[in-house]
Amino acid sequence: MRSKLFIPTILVIAAALLSACSGSFQFGQAMARTINVTGNAEVILSPDIAYISIGVHSEAETAKAAVAANNTQTQAVVDAIKGKGVDAKDIKTTNFSVYQQQKYSPTGEDLGTFFMADNTVYVTMRDITKIGDILDASIGAGANSIYGITFDVQDKESAMASGRDQAIADAKAQAEQLAAATGATLGDVQNISYYSNPPVPYYYDNKAMGGGAGAEAASVPISPGQLTMTVSVSVTYALK
């Protein structure tokens, strides 16, 4: 019985020794040398599209009369915008509402209850050089308020692709400089992480474009400004 137990014991000890040797060999292996850098890029974009919200407000003693008046005013505004060359598909009406409101004179006298009708004409401007003309035409046709203008860029993907190229080039230049300073050269890319901050549409809000008397201030100079997009990449290179 002892001789039968002795052989497995030897095998167990041998296996343990082999495992220890294997572990020592792996521990002693040199780790691969790498360098990680972050490249950045900023792309400045000029807006090429704009969105305008134009308010049409009507008042009457009955709801029916207020709605009828508002329909007439709104259609006149839409026709005026079309007359300036804006395609029908780029004009839509939204946020229509009818409500009652008590009116008072400047001295506080109760003038009674009136019905108010509101509609918003939403316009997509693909030629932003005509924005001033559209505002003038809208107000002249019966619009009461210009709620603001939002400027944007149609083709963001091309700009983002350019930003990525610039960020990668920035990362590589940094990595090459650091590697050269330590007497090494760059190897293959081991890993890339990408982050972007797309341009946020710019909202133009001029107080002179408000409702009531402010809406009469036509020909307000409009400046689209610029939009900024940032891109960052984190790149890991092998070192040789």
Distance in angstroms (rounded) separating the CA atoms of residues 37 and 109: 72
Residue 215, in any domain of the structure: no
> Do both 112 and 132 map to the same domain?
yes
Q: Which residues pair with 100 in a beta bridge?
A: 115
Whether 211 maps to a domain, the answer reads: no
Question: What is the CATH number for 234?
Answer: 3.30.110.170
Is there a single domain that holds both residue 136 and residue 80?
yes
Q: What are phi and psi of 184, to 5 degrees?
A: -115, 170
Sign of CA dihedral 182, 183, 188, 194: positive
Q: Do the domain assignments include residue 79?
A: yes
For residues 109 and 125, state if they share a domain: yes
Q: How far apart are CA 70 and CA 72, in angstroms?
A: 5
Structurally, the chain folds into a number of domains equal to 3
Residue 64 lies in a domain: yes
Give the residue among 195, 126, 182, 131 at the shortest CA–CA distance from 154: 126
Q: Please indicate, yes or no, if residue 212 is contained in any of the structural domains.
A: no
Q: Which residues have CB under 8 Å from 232's CB, separation 6+?
A: 38, 39, 40, 41, 167, 194, 195, 196
User: What is residue 207's predicted lDDT score, i.e. its pLDDT?
Assistant: 44
Per-residue confidence (pLDDT) for residue 225, from 0 to 100: 80
- Both 70 and 113 in one domain: the answer is yes
Distance from the Cα of residue 235 to its chain's centroid: 25
- Which residues, other chains included, contact 127 with Cβ-Cβ below 8 Å and sequence gap of 6+? 85
User: Which pLDDT value is given to residue 30?
Assistant: 63
Closest CA to 49 of 124, 138, 114, 111: 124
Residues 23, 55, single domain; the answer is: no
For the chain, how long is the longest CA-to-CA vector?
119
Positions of the chain with pLDDT under 50 = 1-7, 9-28, 207-208, 210-218
Query: Between vectors from CA 94 to CA 86 and to CA 118, what angle results, nearest 5°?
Result: 110
Shared domain for 159 and 90, answered yes or no, is no
Domain span holding position 12: 1-30
Length of the chain: 240
Q: Is residue 216 part of a domain?
A: no
* Cβ–Cβ under 8 Å, residues 156 and 95: no
Q: Is 31 helix (H, G, I), strand (E, B) or coil?
A: coil
Tell whether 4 is covered by a domain: yes
d(CA 237, CA 223): 44
Query: What is the pLDDT, as a whole number, of residue 21?
Result: 45
